[in-house]
Amino acid sequence: MQGVNTDVDMENVLHAAHEVNLLPSVCSVIGWPSFFAIDAQFTRYAIMTGQVKRRGAERLWPPGAQRLASGSGSPFFRNAAGSHFVAPAATDVMELMRELPIILFGVGGVGQALLRQILDCRGLHAIQYGLHLQLLAVCDSNGAIVEPSEGIADEMLREALTLKEGGGRLADHPDGGPQGDSYSIVDIAGRAGAVVVDCTASDATVPGLLYALERRYRVALANKKPLTIEQEVYDRLTSAGVTPRSNAAAPRHLGASRWEATVGAGLPVIATLNRLVAGGDAVQRIAGTFSGTLGYVMSGLQAGRPFSEIVREAHALGYTEPDPRDDLGGVDVARKALILARGLDWRLDLADVEVEGLYPVGMDKLPVRDFLDQLPALDAQYAERVQAAAAQQQTLRYAATIEDGRCRVGPVTVGLDSPLGRLVGTDNLVEFHTRWYNPTPLVIQGRGAGVDATAAAVLSDIIELAFAAS
């Protein structure tokens, strides 16, 4: 095909080549670089939609490309819509592409969704951002696949996904091995410009995250725990590894770390808070519901259903954790509230957050089945609270309130006509009451849970860090 004036339907060629696993060979024959053959998406996205040409032919297409179409040299293609394109020279494309090294900790629900999205977005990231996200290491709690030189091939990433989706361990993968600790993984696999991603639910990643920042790498977190343990750890993670010399916080450094997915999944809660603070818009109060599970429970109570019935249903539907007390206790919401409070430069610890759970402490040690069986004993008290609120034109919500230097988490009564009062179902909602957003608060509402939404927030953080000033 090279050097031949070829006029073909490019969509059919790419589709057929992909179906019989010949896309790499086709790309090789026509002189395209290997990353075009990652999968069919990149080449089809670039050629069929015309995104490359619309962004500026002078940037991606070699000089005289249109003349070559009627002579010899690069092949000439026409897509189904009749638009004509010339294959870009490999050197021109390679100059625009940049590899972004990634180290991923955590291949549970969010980590798996992130890997799938990285693979699915190869074309988008290449065309729109000139980026190829190169996985150097992928780690679960006891194993890892590490390839610090060439990066992990996409086919191997898919194999790892299949293994994890089936309940397997990366240590059992043919190319996997035991994972010593996060520090060692960063030390072995890290390279200049790397982004270290934490999709775990453990604080065991903290040494690796801090070491990454010491080496001037960047970090993106979906994991709340590193940001809600000791204040010094929070300060270092959000200040490019700098340790404050006094009780005052170290200067913020948004070019080194991102943690959007820790509060509200994909909702832009952290970004909004950072912009309000950066703009000098003093935040007087933050109120919000940060649990889809507890939102479901509160909506059920408002509809007049018994508390025990709602919780049992949520548990059966998989809306709660296997032990529903992990949701009903409010600790996860407390961590999110603490992250927001620390974002306001408040020096607080998790123990300073006032938490009221939805069950008495005496039920804390029961087996899950016994706990569920004893829930009807709580029905009457919740029915009374809902009725008392309704008599005052109010309703019950499980909310976090950050105000006057205090963080409080628990059931509260709110006006039926307020943003929180109008909230129904599993959505999250956050109100920012500030100097300029007063008396009407700035409100963010939407899906605040789910592995796909959370992973998308992490992926956006990764892309932003690729272009952030270090």
Q: Write the CB contacts of 391 (distance below 8 Å, at least 6 apart in sequence).
A: none
CA distance 255 to 239: 9
Residue 315, number of CB atoms within 10 A of its CB: 20
Cβ contacts of 370 within 8 Å, gap of 6 or more: none
Residue entry with tokens 């397997």: 168
Q: Please state, in angstroms and rounded to a whole number, the distance separating the CA atoms of residues 371 and 364.
A: 8
Residues tagged active-site: 336
Of the candidates 177, 46, 113, the one whose C-alpha atom is nearest the C-alpha of residue 452 is: 113
Residues 6+ apart with CB under 8 A from 426: 292, 293, 295, 296, 319, 447, 448, 449
Under 8 Å CB-to-CB from 32, ≥6 apart: which residues? 43, 87, 88, 90, 93
Residues forming a β-bridge with 139: 105, 144
Report the half-sphere exposure of 134 (CA within 13 A, side-chain side): 21
| Residue 402, strand partner residues | 286, 407
Residue 187: half-sphere exposure toward Cβ, Cα within 13 Å: 8
* Closest by CA position to 426, among listed 285, 196, 265, 276: 265
If residue 431 lies in a helix (H) or strand (E), which one and from where to where? strand 428-434
In this structure, the number of other CB atoms found within 10 A of the CB of residue 247 comes to 7
Longest dimension (CA), the chain: 84
- Collapsing DSSP to helix, strand or coil, 23 comes out as helix
The Cα–Cα gap between 395 and 347 comes to 32
Dist. CA 423–CA 445, nearest whole Å: 9
